[in-house]
Amino acid sequence: MKYLFFVQSEGRGHLTQALTMKERLEKNGHQVIAIITGNGDHPLPEFFREEIKVPIFLIESPGFVLDKDGAGIRTIASVIKSLRRSPDFFKSLQKIAKITKELSPDAFISFYEPLAGVYTRIYRDKRPLFCIAHQYFISHSACLFPIDSKIEQKMFKFFNSLTAPRHAIKIALSFTAEKDLPEKNLFIVPPLIRSSIVNRKPEISDYILVYLLNGGYRKKIIDWSLANPKVNIEAFTNSSETEAYRPDSHLKWHMLSGQKFIDRLAACQAYVSTAGFDSIAEAAFLEKNILMVPTKNHFEQKCNAIDARRAGLAVSADDFDLSLVTNNKKTHSDRSIKTYKEWVERSSDKIINILERYSII
């Protein structure tokens, strides 16, 4: 089968999912012929361009507007900006139609790219569409939400429906094994953990690893580091700005990367992150102590933090208080980690089985 990928480019999670999925498909005799991805405010990370090794087509796609500090999300402003950019998105749909006509894929796989769902609706493309993301787990009864969040839940579910039409096969990545809901076209699979993580033996060094979705949170880490100079920190961010620290400083900044991030993650004492799903899944597989700090006004990340706590894999906080994970403070139970890793290893082929089963029109 020939698959065409749609990939939302915000952060690193959907990108690494695409890399892992491509690896597994090719291992099973299938082909990924191209990537279509939104051209957001940040350039596509170089590690993704280097590792994906298929043609990449950039399109204009909806994204978030950040607050004045470049940290939190402005929800209403994001909606207004997307409405104003509607003409650009229609041009993107035309570009998608042209690409699909030229490449003739057998099926589509979308990693939470909203225009994939819009395209199949408007152009009535009947080829199978598989939508893969942790976000679809919100349609499962096992999902827990923040208190008093009914409006946010409805908005979240609406956006999910935008990314995945009713006919699409929705594949929800989950920290825990849960029952499939075929009547909803919803299937539950483990996180897409890269083989470079699965085959990696964890180590314990003397530093805390930090990953920030938005560079505006850098000041929080700098201030905490200045107040705690005995704690070594290494931090990754999408921001191209870097602070001028000596090479031997206790705080080191890195641009978002592939192998370097894996190396630092495997060896860190603990992992602290804005509450994306995929890096948390990787850190938990490596049995790291984890602190999750949801990005301000990012409802999806609040749900991620609750879900990781439900699975017994992490702790969460409203601010970057790294003291919660210093000195190897336990943020998970050994039993939770064991159960989680067994789920990942036991059911790693489930997603391929679903794709092969439903890829026939």
Q: Is the pLDDT of residue 238 over 80?
A: no
Contact 168, 130 (CB under 8 A): yes
Q: Is the pLDDT of residue 63 over 90?
A: no
Residue 134: pLDDT band with limits 50, 70, 90: very high
Contact 113, 59 (CB under 8 A): no
Q: Is the pLDDT of residue 170 over 70?
A: yes
Residue 247: pLDDT band with limits 50, 70, 90: very low
Give the span between the Cα atoms of 194 and 88, in whole angstroms: 34
The topology (CATH level 3) of 196-344 is: Rossmann fold (3.40.50)
Q: Which stretch of DSSP H or E encloses residue 18?
A: helix 13-27
Q: Which stretch of DSSP H or E encloses residue 39?
A: none
Q: What average pLDDT does the structure give for the chain?
A: 88
pLDDT at residue 353, rounded to an integer: 95
More confident call, 46 vs 78: 46
Beginning with the edge strand found earlier in the chain, give each strand of the sheet holding 56-59 in spatial order.
56-59, 31-38, 2-7, 107-111, 129-133, 169-173, 186-189
pLDDT digits (tens, 9 = 90+) for 312-341: 999 999 999 999 999 878 889 899 999 999
Residue 96: pLDDT band with limits 50, 70, 90: very high
Domains 2-193+346-358 and 196-344 share a fold: yes
Give 34's contacts (C-beta < 8 A, 6+ positions apart): 4, 5, 54, 55, 56, 57, 99, 103, 105
pLDDT at residue 169, rounded to an integer: 97
Backbone angle region of 257, left / alpha / beta, with phi > 0 → left and psi within -120 to 50 → alpha: beta
Which has the closest alpha carbon to 257: 243, 271, 240?
240
Phi and psi of 344, rounded to 5°? -65, -45
pLDDT at residue 243, rounded to an integer: 47
pLDDT at residue 245, rounded to an integer: 46
The topology (CATH level 3) of 2-193+346-358 is: Rossmann fold (3.40.50)
Q: Where are the domains of the chain?
A: 2-193+346-358, 196-344
Q: What is the pTM of this model?
A: 0.89
Give the span between the Cα atoms of 91 and 98, in whole angstroms: 11
pLDDT digits (tens, 9 = 90+) for 49-58: 888 999 999 9
Give 293's contacts (C-beta < 8 A, 6+ positions apart): 272, 273, 274, 275, 316, 317, 318, 319, 320
Buried/exposed 91-118: b ≥16 CB within 10 Å, e otherwise: ebbebbeebbeeeebbbbbbbbbbbbbb
Question: What is the rounded average pLDDT of the residues 160-178?
Answer: 94
